[in-house]
Copies of this chain bind each other. A is one copy, B any other.
């Protein structure tokens, strides 16, 4: 209503003058990389990266996806020793009730966090980042937030398909809350890990298990049906995922293995979020999943859940988690850690 003036010719308030246009035609254009003072130089460089040129391997089978996953895991695993050293952490591989996990422990743990435990479910479109490669985000959180973190190395295609990842998360959660008590536990993850965090909450409700004290939901794959406006508005702008029809979409279909993509245990936006624990959500303005993050935030609010949303300027999908030397990573993980500190029992 505040712009209902332009020369008195047009009324853009209310419905007067409404012209429905199913498709909005946009001309070709060039987009400068954002350079405002409030983006660190390190993050500016990440934002200015050309679009991921290999964003579209359209895997059809778990075996195909796994070849890529194993190849890509090498680089991630190579980063881990230095990360653990810089962040003063130890990491061990274990199993909990038959599920593989990595346990990341700060060498010095603040008194208030000694009884607390974070459970991490990694991202990677349900097919990527196997084994140690899935622990990077858990390591960053343990190091920045000073928590003990158990990262679930859930089964992925072709070892197993939906709902194996979710089942493994629930198994580990059951084991963790026996040790720590649910209210001293937070669950977190990004992308597929954000979706798995939400899916785990839906499953806990169905199983009448206690909710954790808080959850951290990073740019979740909350809707696998390509619904969400930023799948379109940020197409080609998000330099990580690039397209709704790219590798992540293909990977999700591999994981779903013929199951309905609209099942709330694959697209949790369609689940009932009443009774969820306090949640903190993180995304960026260029994120292909911006819409699915804000839609999830709204759905949580409408269900009466306390939910914080942080949207970082200029960032594409999950770029806040790039590494401990990026100021925005320390900031985002610091904010998530502070949210957990506020909501978890000691």
Contacts and interface: CB of A to CB of B under 8 A. Distances in A.
Interface of A: 1-16, 18-34, 36, 38, 42, 45-46, 48-55, 57, 67-69, 71-76, 79, 122-125, 128-129, 133-134, 136-137, 190-193, 227-230, 232-237, 239-241, 247-248, 269, 285-286, 290-291, 294-295, 297-299, 301, 308-314, 317-318, 321-323, 335
Given A30-B24, A52-B12, A76 B1 contact: yes
Nearest to A247: B6
Given A72-B6, A291-B313, A18 B1 contact: no
Contacts of A53: 10
Contact of A294 (B7, B227, B285): B285
Given A13-B322, A28-B28, A34-B291, 19 more contacts: A1-B129, A2-B123, A3-B247, A4-B75, A7-B67, A7-B68, A7-B71, A9-B54, A12-B49, A12-B240, A13-B76, A15-B42, A22-B33, A26-B30, A26-B236, A36-B228, A233-B234, A291-B313, A294-B313
Contacts of A294: 285, 311-313
Contacts of A190: 2
Nearest to A235: B29
Contacts of A136: 1-2, 13
A3 to B, nearest CB: 6
B314 A68 contact: no
A12 B76 CA distance: 10
A1 B309 contact: no
27 contacts: A1-B136, A2-B124, A2-B129, A4-B133, A5-B124, A7-B54, A8-B71, A10-B52, A13-B79, A14-B79, A14-B323, A18-B49, A22-B33, A24-B30, A24-B32, A24-B51, A25-B30, A26-B30, A26-B31, A27-B28, A29-B236, A31-B233, A36-B228, A36-B229, A36-B295, A229-B314, A290-B311
